[in-house]
Structure 1
Amino acid sequence: MEKLNIGIIYGGQSTEHEVSLRSAQSVLDALDKSRYTVSLIYISKKGEWLLADQSESIEVLEDGKDSVRLSILPSRQFISERGEHALDAVLPILHGTAGEDGIVQGVLQMMNIPYAGCNVRSSAVCMDKDMTKRLLKMEGIRVADWVLCRHSEKEEIDYGLVESELGLPMFIKPVNQGSSVGVSKVTDARTFQEALDLAFQFDTKVMIESAVRGREIEVSVLGNADPFVSVPGEIVANTDFYSYESKYIDENGAALEIPASLDDDTRTRIQKTAVDAYRILDCEGMSRVDVFLREDGEIIVNEINTLPGFTSISMYPKLLEASGISYAELLDRLIALSLERHELQSSLKTDLS
């Protein structure tokens, strides 16, 4: 069987640039080299697209030293001073803005290259926590109460009114960020203003959200029209909340319990809620659905992550591994799903003749 030429895109103009490097290395290590030829494409923090000279390790690249600068052709190809570089499919291992928000997906779609994960529309919607909540709420999915504050309104937001509506504690977070970047827990007027100032450093829209007391449960979903849902896992944070430091810096910041200790009915309800949210938001390929499980059994969807962490210890692959899908098989399925979707899209008419 002829090998597929698979591109791994990593790095990116995001606060999660370093997380992407770790995820991409795990992906590269796990890909079956007997089935795939791998091309490594690095997006620098300045937005340069660079093709690595080798495909043995994930590195921060420099133009002209260990890579060449890439330009785009709308025909499954990149071009550089060394010629054309055709790809059969791409694994966009990018996290955060300009990576999982539909921007890179749009570039790849314009280039007619199959890519793993959600389409442009669902990537953009799921990255925007406000839009995600609005759509889920419209369809009867329970979400935490929230107030939206835009940059133009930040001087007018009234702490007293927000507190009376949401109560304390509350969380303030940038709308279009991931990995808990810029997220703060608010307990009084002073921390409210500090949290707003921090969140507005990362986005022009900020969400003020009521705190939900409950267990943090996560589920991995894999598939297009007929998605597979993993066993649920639980995040047990040893810090005040599951912050960026808890996820990536403090090795004792949180424990992962896989599978989560749940009765059969609760597990089934969480899995159904995850698949319902996945379909409502038009997700494809993959997503991790995060929920809160309240003491009374109510399930509240927290967020849908369309490009979750892919390190060897990340929740998304670990949940699927616990459900019988190895890391290498997961990558095979994601590539196959991207080709399946591309074939279906290519069959659609683009003119009226």
Structure 2
Amino acid sequence: MASEFGKVGVLFGGRSAEREVSLMSGKGVLAALRSKGIDAHGFDPAERSIAELAAEKFDRVFIALHGRYGEDGTLQGVLEQLGLPYTGSGVMASSIGMDKVMTKRIWLSLGLPTPRFIVLDSKDATHDELRKVPDELGLPLMLKAPHEGSTIGISKVIGYSEMQSGFDLCAKYDDVVLAEEFITGRELTVPVLGTGRNARALPIVEIRAPQGNYDYEHKYFSDDTQYLCPAPLDAELTKRIQSLAVRAFNAVGSSGWARVDFMLRAADNEPFLLEINTSPGMTGHSLVPMAAKAAGVSYEDLCVEILRSADLDLIPSQDWKPA
């Protein structure tokens, strides 16, 4: 089995704000693939050039990069130019998935539920414009840097007086700031494996962070956050959310694997799509391996399954069909 993959590059690290998480993901994937006898080698694009990547003559690569320059379509374009099969979504879907605003617009165009939002210019938004946002979206609300992940560049605004400081925090990371309606309820995530009609949802994970604060520390380093997998939901609601995850995945043209994040509104159990991660974390605290384990798939076997999908993703993975 291992010989079918040839020489494999595991790309991790990179230059994004999520470098630290990517290093943890990549080391885990590298160890898992090697444990299966696969000829896997680590490669950090922040420390080595594209010319060196080409010179390695990998047969395929596993992308364990998160954030910009790895998850946003730029690297995917380079790999296609090199003729290197890679894991995960293609250029267009990666670029869309990395942009929370564009993702939401596509979901809305297809009638998929996502919280109401306003887009603010990071440089030109006036104080008066910021003051009007709570009037339209209500309080509390969320401010996000729409091209970042791992809860980097995100702020929960409780009152009008917090709008400016929250905006300033997010504006450090992006040209625009996404102001989003806050949905009170349960935080859920659904990993999806496969492509097109073969895409399937893994068990739902419910995240219960201390005081509902699922920040960078609670996501990757704290043991205080509780994860319930499969999430304690009735069968009908579970099926509905998993189906919505697959539709959201296909709507942006994703392939191979991804993770779709939700809020389940407490008042009526209505699910709302937050974002899609086309190169999710693979650390010891990560949610895709957790869901796979609940489905009877080990971390090592999950890595192999994702790697096997790489030969499907190079030619052309952009069969973008409405959900």
8 A Cα contact 2:30 2:41, kept in partner: no
Partner of 1:247: 219
Could you say if the C-alpha distance between residues 173 and 71 of structure 1 is closer, same or farther in structure 2, counting changes exceeding 3 Å?
closer
8 A Cα contact 1:32 1:328, kept in partner: no
1:297-336 pair list within 5 angstroms: 297-336=269-308
Unaligned runs of 5+ in 1: 50-69, 80-84, 347-353
> What is the rounded CA distance, in whole Å, between the counterparts of 1:29 and 1:286 in structure 2?
20
Partner of 1:14: 16
1:160-199 pair list within 5 angstroms: 160-199=131-170
Q: How many residues align?
A: 314
Partner of 1:63: none
> What is the rounded CA distance, in whole Å, between the counterparts of 2:265 and 2:74 in structure 1?
35
Cα deviation code 1:126-178 (max 9, x no counterpart):
11000010000110001001100123432365233211100000111101000
Kindly indicate which of the two structures has a greater share of residues assigned to strand: 1
Deviation at 1:71, TM superposition (A): 4.1
Identical columns (%) = 35
Deviation at 1:241, TM superposition (A): 2.3
- Counterpart amino acid of residue 16 in structure 2: S
- Counterpart amino acid of residue 14 in structure 1: S
Could you say if the C-alpha distance between residues 34 and 133 of structure 1 is closer, same or farther in structure 2, counting changes exceeding 3 Å?
closer
Partner of 1:294: 265
- Counterpart amino acid of residue 88 in structure 2: G
1:142 maps to 2:142: no
* SS across alignment from 2:105: helix
Partner of 1:230: 202
- Counterpart amino acid of residue 145 in structure 2: P
1:1-353 pair list within 5 angstroms: 2=3, 4-33=6-35, 35-44=37-46, 48-49=47-48, 70-72=49-51, 78-79=54-55, 85-155=56-126, 158-225=129-196, 226-252=198-224, 254-295=225-266, 296-342=268-314, 344-345=315-316
Question: 115-124 or 307-316: which moved more?
Answer: 307-316
Kindly indicate which of the two structures has a greater share of residues assigned to helix: 2
- Counterpart amino acid of residue 11 in structure 1: G
Could you say if the C-alpha distance between residues 157 and 4 of structure 1 is closer, same or farther in structure 2, counting changes exceeding 3 Å?
farther
> What is the rounded CA distance, in whole Å, between the counterparts of 1:138 and 1:197 in structure 2?
30
| Displacement over 3 Å in runs of 4+ | 32-35
> What is the rounded CA distance, in whole Å, between the counterparts of 1:307 and 1:341 in structure 2?
14
> What is the rounded CA distance, in whole Å, between the counterparts of 1:158 and 1:332 in structure 2?
49
> What is the rounded CA distance, in whole Å, between the counterparts of 1:168 and 1:250 in structure 2?
28
From the CA coordinates, give the structure whose radius of gyration is larger.
1
> What is the rounded CA distance, in whole Å, between the counterparts of 2:212 and 2:230 in structure 1?
23
* SS across alignment from 2:183: coil
Could you say if the C-alpha distance between residues 119 and 259 of structure 1 is closer, same or farther in structure 2, counting changes exceeding 3 Å?
same
Cα deviation code 1:184-213 (max 9, x no counterpart):
111223211001111011111110111101
* SS across alignment from 1:11: coil
Question: 30-39 or 98-107: which moved more?
Answer: 30-39
Cα deviation code 1:41-62 (max 9, x no counterpart):
1133xxx42xxxxxxxxxxxxx
CA RMSD of aligned residues (A): 1.9
Deviation at 1:290, TM superposition (A): 0.8
> What is the rounded CA distance, in whole Å, between the counterparts of 1:157 and 1:130 in structure 2?
22
- Counterpart amino acid of residue 228 in structure 2: E
8 A Cα contact 2:26 2:42, kept in partner: no
> What is the rounded CA distance, in whole Å, between the counterparts of 2:188 and 2:296 in structure 1?
19
Deviation at 1:72, TM superposition (A): 2.5
* SS across alignment from 2:309: helix
TM-score, length basis structure 2: 0.92
Partner of 2:320: none
> What is the rounded CA distance, in whole Å, between the counterparts of 1:244 and 1:313 in structure 2?
11
> What is the rounded CA distance, in whole Å, between the counterparts of 2:109 and 2:128 in structure 1?
25
- Counterpart amino acid of residue 250 in structure 2: R
> What is the rounded CA distance, in whole Å, between the counterparts of 1:21 and 1:345 in structure 2?
29
- Counterpart amino acid of residue 15 in structure 2: Q
